[in-house]
Amino acid sequence: MTILTIKTTPYGDQKPGTSGLRKRVTVYQQPNYVENYIQAIFDSLEGFEGQTLVIGGDGRFYNDVAIQKAIRIAAANGFGKVLVGQGGLLSTPAASHVIRHYKAFGGLVLSASHNPGGPEGDFGIKYNISNGGPAPEKITDAVYARTKVIDSYKSIDAGDIDLNTIGTQTVGGMVVEVIDPVADYAALMETLFDFPAIKAMFASGFRMTFDAMSAVTGPYAHKILEEILGAPKGTVINGTPSPSFNDGHPDPNLVYCKDMHDLLMTPEGPDFGAASDGDGDRNLIIGKNRFVTPSDSLALLAANAHLAPGYKAGIAGIARSMPTSAAADRVAEKLGIEMHETPTGWKFFGNLLDAGRVTICGEESAGTGSSHVREKDGLWAVLLWLNIIAVRKQSVDQIVREHWATYGRNYYTRHDYEEVDAAIANKLVDDLRAELPKLAGRNLGDDLQVAYADDFTYHDPVDGSTSAKQGIRIGFTDGSRIVVRLSGTGTVGATLRLYLERYEAADGRHDLETQSALDSLIGVADELTGIKQRTGRQEPSVIT
C-alpha cells in the first residue's frame, strides 16, 4: 500500500453546525473540500489505529463519490476496517446502531437529513463517536480549528470498491466489509416492540400508509412493515431511494406531506399515516382526523412506552430540546422521573442517555428516539405508535384526546423563515438579546405578563460542560412562551425560527385550531421581534 500525502489549502467555511457540515453539493465538489474535512476529523481524534470505522449515508447525490474518498482516506490514516452499507446506504439511526453493535471506533454519516438533494441540492458529513451519537462540541470545535490550518491530507492509490455486493474487500491494508444496511436494525426493532401484536392488527384489517419520500427509509420500511409485520404491499410509498429524492423535498411535515394529511382527513383514508425524512431520523405521525405534533408525540410516546416490551419496566427519564413544548414535562412530573431541557441538537442527549438518566428524547423538529441508539429514529417512533395502538385498541385521535384530558394541552407551533439574509437575521437576534433585561415584569399584548426573558444556557449535568446562547426564551406568567433562535441546519442564508406555546389545562378547551389559539401570542412575537418588517416576509416559509 502506497500512502500518498497530498498538499492542500484550507477552506474557511468548514464549521460544523448542529448536525455536521452541510453545504451545497457544488461546494463539496470543490477540489479537496471533502478530503480536507475528513482529514481534519481524523486529525482531531486519537487511538483509532487498527480500529473499525462505519461509513454510510442517505443515498443523496454525491454520496457514492464521497464514500469512496472517505474509504481511501481512512485506509491511509490507519483504520483497520470499514463497515459500509450496501449501495452506500445506512439510515442515520441504523448507522448509530451499527457503530454500537460492532463496537466501532466511530462513523461517518453522509447526509444533509431533510434538506433537498440532487446536483443542485445539499450534502453533508457528520462524525459520530463510539457511543453511536454525534460528536460533542469539544470534537467539532477541534475539527473546525483544524480545517482552518490544514495543509495536507492522506490517501492511497487505489480504485473504487464495489459498494453493491455484500462481502469483504480490501483497500490497501484495510478490510472493507459491505453489509446489509437493514438487517441489524430490523433485528433491534424486534427486541423492542410487540411484533406479533402489530402483525395481528394488520391481519385484522388495520390500514396505514408510510411515505419514505424516495429516501433511505424505504428499504427499512419495506422490510419491517410489509415483509415482517405483514402490512399489505403498497403500504410503503416512494420506497426506492433516489439521489434527488425524486425531485422532492424529504422533510416530513405538513407542507411536503400535504397529500397524506388530506387523505387521512377523509372517511376513505387509512387508519394511520407516517413518513420519515432523507436520512431516516425524523418522523411524521397522522391518525385518522388527527395530526400529532412532534411535541405531543414525544409526550404520548413517553406516557405509553411501557406498553412495548422493550420499555415494560418503565423509563428512567425524558429529555427534550429547549424549543420543544413542555407537554413532556407534565408526563415526567406525573411519572415521577427526571426531565431535562437541552439545547437543540441530538448530541446533547448523548451524555444523559449514556448515564442512564433518560430513556426517551425528542425535539419539536419531528425527531424522537430512545436509548436503543444515540440518534433520533423515525421508524422507531412509527413502530412505537403502532405498538401503542395495537395494545390500547384505540384510534390515534382517541389516544390523543385522552392524553389531553389527563395532562392538558400545549398549543404549539413553529414558524420558519428560511433563507433570510444572514446579516438581517443575526441583527434581529442580537437586538432582541439586548432587550431581554428590560422585559421581565412587563405586560405585552392584552394580558401577557413577562415572567422571565433570557438567552438559554445549558449546564450538562453529566460532564459539567456549558453551552451558551442556545436560543432566546420569553416566558409569561400564564405558562405561555415565545422562543427565537437561528437554525444550524440550513445551507443558504439563515433560517430564523419562531416557536410559540400556550398551555390549556386538563379541564380546558382542547378543540381550538392551533394558529387561532396562538393568534394573540403570534402578534406579541412580531411586535417584539419585528420579523415581518425586518425580513420583508409577510408569512413564514413553513408553519408546523
Query: Annotated catalytic sites, by residue?
Result: 113
Q: What is the DSSP letter of 88?
A: E
Q: How many other CB atoms sit within 10 Å of the CB of residue 204?
A: 8
State the burial class of residue 468 (Cβ atoms within 10 Å of its Cβ: 0-12, 13-18, 19+). exposed
DSSP code per residue over 380-400 = HHHHHHHHHHHHHT--HHHHH
d(CA 217, CA 366): 15
* Closest C-alpha to 31, from 50, 11, 4: 11
* Closest C-alpha to 92, from 337, 344, 280: 280
Rounded alpha-carbon distances, angstroms, from residue 77 to 35, 86, 169, 174, 368? 12, 23, 18, 10, 35
d(CA 420, CA 116): 17
Per-residue cell: 440: 421581565
Query: Do residues 210 and 237 make contact, with C-beta atoms less than 8 angstroms apart?
Result: yes
* Helix 63-77 / helix 33-43 crossing angle, nearest 10 deg: 40
Sign of CA dihedral 76, 77, 80, 82: negative
Query: Do residues 174 and 75 make contact, with C-beta atoms less than 8 angstroms apart?
Result: yes
d(CA 278, CA 244): 10
